[in-house]
Structure 1
Amino acid sequence: MKILFSPSKTMKLKNINFSKNRTINFPDKTHSLVNSLKKLSKSEIEKLFKIKGQLLEETYNNIQNFDSLDSYEALSLYDGVTFRQLNLNSYSAKDLNYLNENLLIFSALYGVLSPNTEIKPYRLDMTINFLEESLYKFWNDKINDFLNAYIDEIFINLASKEFSKIIDKKKFKVINIEFRQKVDDKLKNISTEAKKARGMLLDFMTINNISDLESIKTFTKEGYQFSESDSNSDTLFFIRKIKL
C-alpha cells in the first residue's frame, strides 16, 4: 500500500530527525524547469503565480538563486493546512519510517518525493503554464514510469484533484478517499475541511501503522465516520455532521 499526497504552497522549516535522506528522483527534469523559470521576469512571475508584495519578492529571489539555496527534507518544509494535521513532534522513528516507506508526495517541480527527500524552497502549481506544454504533459510519463515500481500495490489517494489527476488510474489500482460534511442534512464538500481531514487520516495511518483498507475504515477523528452506502470499490467516503 502506498499513499499519494499533495505538496503545499506554504513552507516553514521544522526540525525532524530523519535517520537517512534521499536525493530527488528526476534532477534533469527539475533543472530544466528551474532554468525555464529563471528566464521569467518579476512581472511575469507576478502574473503567472498571482502573487505580489513580499511573497513575490521571495518567490522571484528563490528562483533566481535556486542553485545556492539550502536543501531540507520535504516533510520538514511543507506547512499547508494538510501538513499541519500531522503530529510530527510526537512521531517515533517507527512512525517516520512508515511515512518514508509509504508516502509519495507529488510535486510540480520535483515530480515525486518521499518525506525525507531533500528539496529546496519553491512555489509552483501544476496549473501554472510557462512551458510550451503543460506541467501535466511534462511530468506524465516520468511519474507514471516511476510508479511502475509499485504496480502491484494499492494506492490510497489523499492527494488533491490538481495533483492526483497525473496518475494513470487505468493502469494502477487507486482507492480515492473523499470527505464530506453534513450541514442541515445536506452533504457538502468544504475544501478547507477536506484538506484537514486528509491530513488527519494520514496522521491516523502513520501512528497506527495502517496497511489495509479495512483498518482505514475505522478512522473516526473529529466525528468522521466511514459511509458504506456512499462508498464503492474505487472510493471510500467519510462523513461528519457540522454546523456553519
Structure 2
Amino acid sequence: MKTIILIPPSEGKADGGNNNSLKSVAGITADLIEAIKEADPKKLYGLKGKALEKAIIVNKEVLISKTMPAIERYTGVVYDAIDYQTLKNKSDFDKKVLIVSGLFGLVSPNDLIPNYRLKIDKLKAAKLWKNSNSEKLRDKFVIDLLPQAHKKAVKYDNGIEVEFVLKKEGKKMPAGHQGKHIKGQFVRWLIENNITDPKHFKDFKEEGYKWTGEFFLKEI
C-alpha cells in the first residue's frame, strides 16, 4: 500500500514564477475563482490596507500570472524546516507528499501553481474538495500532519493523524505555531529515512518530542 504524507500549504507564498500561466482551469478550482470574485474581500481575506490590496490583485491575476512548483511557492515555517533543496532523495518526497490547498485541492510538490490567496475554511472550500480529495487517497496509507481546518477537506480509510503536544505543569496543549517547525522536521525525517510504518515513529526525538504511541509529547 502506497504511503502518502499530507501537509498544509503555507499562507506565505513566493511571488512571481518562471513557468507559463494556467490560462484556464475547470471544476472546483474554476468555481472557487468565480466565488472569490463575488465575495466581500474584507471578509474573505481578513486583511487591511496594502495586504488586502495585494491579496485582491493576486487572485484577480491568478490565471494569467506565472507559475512555479508548489514546493517553491509555499514559504512558511513547515517548508523552511523541510528544506527541500537539500533533500538527498527529492524524488521520494515528490511521490509521497501531497499538499492540501484551498484553491487547488491535493497538490503534488512539482505541480505548477500561481500565487493565490484562499484559506481552506473560506467559501466552503474544504467541503467542496472533500469527495475529490478522498477519492485520490483511496487505497493509500495516510500520514496526516494537517491542521483541523484542512482535515475537513480529506477522508481516508487507512492512516494515522500525527499531533505534536506540549505538556506544562501537568496540562497538555497543542504545540500550535511552535509545532509547525517540528512538523517540517518530521516530514524531512520520514523521507530521508524512508519511514512508512508508525512503529518507527519512536525513533524521531527532535527538540525533546517523544512518541507516546498516540502523539508526540514534549514536557516544558
Taking structure 1 as the reference length, what is the TM-score of the superposition? 0.80
After TM superposition, the structure 1 = structure 2 runs for residues 122-201 of structure 1, keeping only pairs within 5 Å, are: 122-129=116-123, 134-148=124-138, 151=139, 153-169=140-156, 172-201=157-186
CA distance in 1, matches of 2:63, 2:171: 50
After TM superposition, the structure 1 = structure 2 runs for residues 183-222 of structure 1, keeping only pairs within 5 Å, are: 183-222=168-207
Counterpart residue identity of residue 99, structure 2: I
Counterpart residue identity of residue 201, structure 1: F
CA distance in 1, matches of 2:104, 2:200: 31
- Please list the CA deviations of residues 30-63 of structure 1 after superposition, one character each: whole Å capped at 9, or x if unmatched: 12221332344xxx21222101122211111112
Between Structure 1 and Structure 2, how many residues are aligned?
A: 212
Question: Corresponding residue for 2:78?
Answer: 82
Counterpart residue identity of residue 124, structure 1: L
Identity of aligned residues (%): 25
Question: Corresponding residue for 2:218?
Answer: 240
**How far 1:154 moved relative to its partner?**
1.4
CA distance in 1, matches of 2:95, 2:85: 19
After TM superposition, the structure 1 = structure 2 runs for residues 65-144 of structure 1, keeping only pairs within 5 Å, are: 65-92=61-88, 94=89, 96-129=90-123, 134-144=124-134
SS of the equivalent of 1:8 reads coil
Contact 2:130 2:152 in 1 (8 A): no
CA distance in 2, matches of 1:144, 1:89: 29
Question: Corresponding residue for 1:29?
Answer: 28
CA distance in 2, matches of 1:211, 1:128: 33
**How far 1:88 moved relative to its partner?**
2.5
Counterpart residue identity of residue 9, structure 2: P
Contact 1:11 1:79 in 2 (8 A): yes
Q: Which runs of 5+ in 2 are unaligned?
A: none
Sort the Cα spacing of 1:101 and 1:27 in 2 relative to 1 into closer, same or farther, 3 A. Answer: farther
SS of the equivalent of 2:203 reads coil
**How far 1:186 moved relative to its partner?**
2.7
Indicate the larger mover: 193-202 or 71-80: 193-202
CA distance in 2, matches of 1:89, 1:147: 26
**How far 1:13 moved relative to its partner?**
5.8
Contact 1:13 1:76 in 2 (8 A): no
**How far 1:156 moved relative to its partner?**
0.6
Question: Corresponding residue for 1:62?
Answer: 58
CA distance in 2, matches of 1:72, 1:163: 23
Q: Which runs of 5+ in 1 are unaligned?
A: 16-22, 232-236
Indicate the larger mover: 190-199 or 99-108: 190-199
RMSD: 2.1
**How far 1:222 moved relative to its partner?**
0.9
Counterpart residue identity of residue 28, structure 1: G
**How far 1:14 moved relative to its partner?**
10
Sort the Cα spacing of 1:14 and 1:102 in 2 relative to 1 into closer, same or farther, 3 A. Answer: farther
CA distance in 1, matches of 2:163, 2:94: 24
Sort the Cα spacing of 1:78 and 1:241 in 2 relative to 1 into closer, same or farther, 3 A. Answer: same
Asked if 1:10 is matched to 2:6, the reply is no
Over 4 Å off, 4+ runs = none
SS of the equivalent of 1:51 reads coil
